[in-house]
């Protein structure tokens, strides 16, 4: 590592990270990028893309690196972009904290040891708002909310550590909502909870789900998210701020509109019985949904809800994310958020063509989110 500019990147093999690499390289080709990975084959793949890779463990002391390797990072790294996270909703709080909180502690410690550090970007999630309803600005979250799952809780706890460290380090926070797929072709490299929730929305096995017709569903495509994150980090970085890389009220769709697109797309797809209409579940409160599941004698339904319930309950929480500051940062970039109906349709067709990941790609027990 001899370049005067050196970026240390985590989460390079995740949904956003693998697309992010392309934009980071294009933005500043003279900069070296060192990625932290866990597996040798991941290191080989990244090296073939022109990156350097170190094999370690985000949650271990010194990132699980040998002392000499860690010392080299401290000497060479000028920028850090922390994208990695454990995005599985069904983990225990203790398990999720290992990466989402412990990993952030290790990243912050690395940052303190890097004498030439110029900036640190921490990728977070809109889910840090927990069960709190309302309109949320691009600013640090106050304590006091409750959470539906361990992912929400531990990402919030991680943000609290990052906000505290802003007093001593040049840090910005980038919150991301659900990342669905690439916008143009709908390609999904990791299928997660939200994709399977789309599959089950018009499913008679779940006759009721939490939600409200006017609830805003904020989703973004992976390519736009990666390009926007790279642009703001590279060219519009400001220490001490929070930015929402989201669709916002203007770019989001209402729950009723999302359901309409899902049903129309499924009914038109060759895999769906011709002439048969998709049946939509009835929208109820979270309390009513939980009571229905508790009283159900259908063991298969209970198992299904146990798998997806950590995510489906989020659809019953009414939240809106402001994004004016992020949009201002993107002015002049040429990056325009694609129309949600279009990329949602493309993603659904890709899901149907690939049987929701069973034909070829990886299926993960997680929402596709900020990593």
pLDDT tens readout for residues 207-248: 888 888 999 999 999 999 999 999 999 999 999 999 999 999
In a domain, 52, yes or no: yes
Residues 114 and 225 in one domain: yes
Residues 131 and 208 in one domain: no
Helix ranges (DSSP H) in the chain: 15-27, 40-48, 67-76, 93-100, 102-113, 150-165, 193-200, 222-235, 248-251, 255-268, 286-295, 299-312, 324-330, 340-353
148-168 pLDDT tens trace: 899 999 999 999 999 999 999
Residues 14 and 73 in one domain: yes
Q: Range of 292's domain?
A: 190-217+252-318+338-363
81-85, 174-178, 354-358, range with the lowest pLDDT: 354-358
Query: What would the 3-class secondary structure string for 221-259 be?
Result: CHHHHHHHHHHHHHHCCCCCCEEECCCHHHHCEEHHHHH
Whether 309 has a pLDDT exceeding 90, the answer reads no
Q: What is the CATH number of the domain that holds 142?
A: 3.40.50.720
* Neighbouring residues of 144: CB distance < 8 A, sequence distance ≥ 6: none
State how many domains the chain has.
Answer: 2
Whether 307 has a pLDDT exceeding 60, the answer reads yes
- Calculate mean pLDDT across residues 287-301: 82
In a domain, 235, yes or no: yes
Mean pLDDT across the chain: 90
Which of 201, 230, 250 is the last residue before a domain boundary?
A: 250
In a domain, 58, yes or no: yes
Residue 15 banded pLDDT, cuts 50, 70, 90: confident
Whether 363 has a pLDDT exceeding 50, the answer reads no
How far apart CA 91 and CA 303 sit, in angstroms, is 16
In a domain, 204, yes or no: yes
Task: Report yes or no: 198 and 348 within 8 Å, Cβ to Cβ.
Answer: yes
Residues 20 and 145 in one domain: yes
Shortest CA distance to 109 belongs to which of 141, 74, 75?
Answer: 74
Whether 364 has a pLDDT exceeding 70, the answer reads no
Task: Report yes or no: 35 and 9 within 8 Å, Cβ to Cβ.
Answer: yes
In a domain, 1, yes or no: no
Residues 344 and 200 in one domain: yes
Residues 238 and 93 in one domain: yes
Which of 198, 232, 250 is the last residue before a domain boundary?
A: 250
Whether 265 has a pLDDT exceeding 50, the answer reads yes
Whether 339 has a pLDDT exceeding 80, the answer reads yes
Helix ranges (DSSP H) in 115-207: 150-165, 193-200
- Calculate mean pLDDT across residues 324-352: 96
Residues 73 and 213 in one domain: no
- Calculate mean pLDDT across residues 264-289: 88
Whether 1 has a pLDDT exceeding 50, the answer reads no
Note the pLDDT of residue 231: 98
Residues 113 and 125 in one domain: yes
Note the pLDDT of residue 255: 92
Residues 243 and 283 in one domain: no
In a domain, 326, yes or no: no
Q: What percentage of residues in the chain have a pLDDT greater than 90? A: 70
In a domain, 72, yes or no: yes
Which of 198, 231, 250 is the last residue before a domain boundary?
A: 250
Residues 20 and 115 in one domain: yes
Residues 199 and 109 in one domain: no
Residues 126 and 88 in one domain: yes
Note the pLDDT of residue 203: 62
In a domain, 258, yes or no: yes
Residue 359 banded pLDDT, cuts 50, 70, 90: low
- Calculate mean pLDDT across residues 183-206: 80
Whether 196 has a pLDDT exceeding 80, the answer reads no
Q: What percentage of residues in the chain have a pLDDT greater than 70? A: 93
């Amino acid at each position: 590592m001899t370049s005067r500019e050196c970026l240390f990147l985590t989460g390079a093999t995740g949904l956003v990270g693998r697309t992010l690499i392309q934009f980071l390289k294009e933005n500043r080709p003279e900069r070296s990028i060192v990625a932290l990975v866990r597996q040798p084959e991941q290191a080989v793949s990244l090296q073939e893309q022109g990156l350097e890779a170190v094999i370690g463990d985000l949650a271990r002391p010194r990132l699980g690196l040998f002392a000499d390797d860690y010392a080299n990072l401290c000497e060479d790294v000028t920028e850090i972009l922390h994208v990695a996270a454990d995005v599985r909703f069904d983990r225990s709080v203790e398990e999720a904290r290992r990466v989402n909180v412990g990993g952030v502690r290790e990243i912050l410690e690395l940052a303190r040891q890097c004498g030439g550090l110029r900036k640190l970007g921490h990728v977070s999630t809109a889910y840090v708002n927990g069960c709190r309803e309302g309109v949320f600005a691009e600013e640090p979250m106050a304590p006091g909310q409750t959470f539906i799952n361990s992912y929400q809780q531990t990402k919030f706890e991680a943000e609290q550590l990052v906000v505290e460290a802003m007093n001593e380090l040049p840090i910005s926070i980038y919150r991301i909502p659900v990342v669905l797929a690439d916008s143009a072709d709908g390609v999904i490299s990791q299928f997660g909870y939200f994709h399977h929730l789309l599959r089950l929305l018009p499913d008679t096995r779940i006759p009721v789900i939490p939600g409200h017709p006017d609830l805003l569903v904020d989703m973004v495509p992976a390519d736009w998210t990666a390009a926007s994150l790279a642009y703001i980090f590279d060219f519009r970085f400001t220490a001490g701020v929070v930015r929402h890389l989201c669709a916002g009220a203007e770019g989001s769709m209402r729950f009723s509109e999302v359901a309409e697109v899902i049903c129309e797309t499924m009914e038109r797809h060759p895999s769906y019985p011709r002439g048969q209409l998709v049946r939509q579940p009835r929208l109820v409160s979270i309390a009513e949904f939980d009571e229905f599941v508790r009283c159900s004698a259908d063991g298969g339904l209970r198992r299904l809800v146990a798998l997806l319930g950590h995510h489906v309950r989020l659809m019953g929480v009414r939240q809106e994310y402001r994004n004016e500051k992020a949009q201002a940062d993107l002015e002049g970039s040429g990056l325009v958020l694609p129309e949600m109906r279009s990329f949602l349709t493309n993603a659904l067709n890709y899901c149907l063509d690939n049987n929701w990941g069973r034909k070829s790609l990886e299926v993960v027990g997680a929402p596709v989110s900020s990593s």
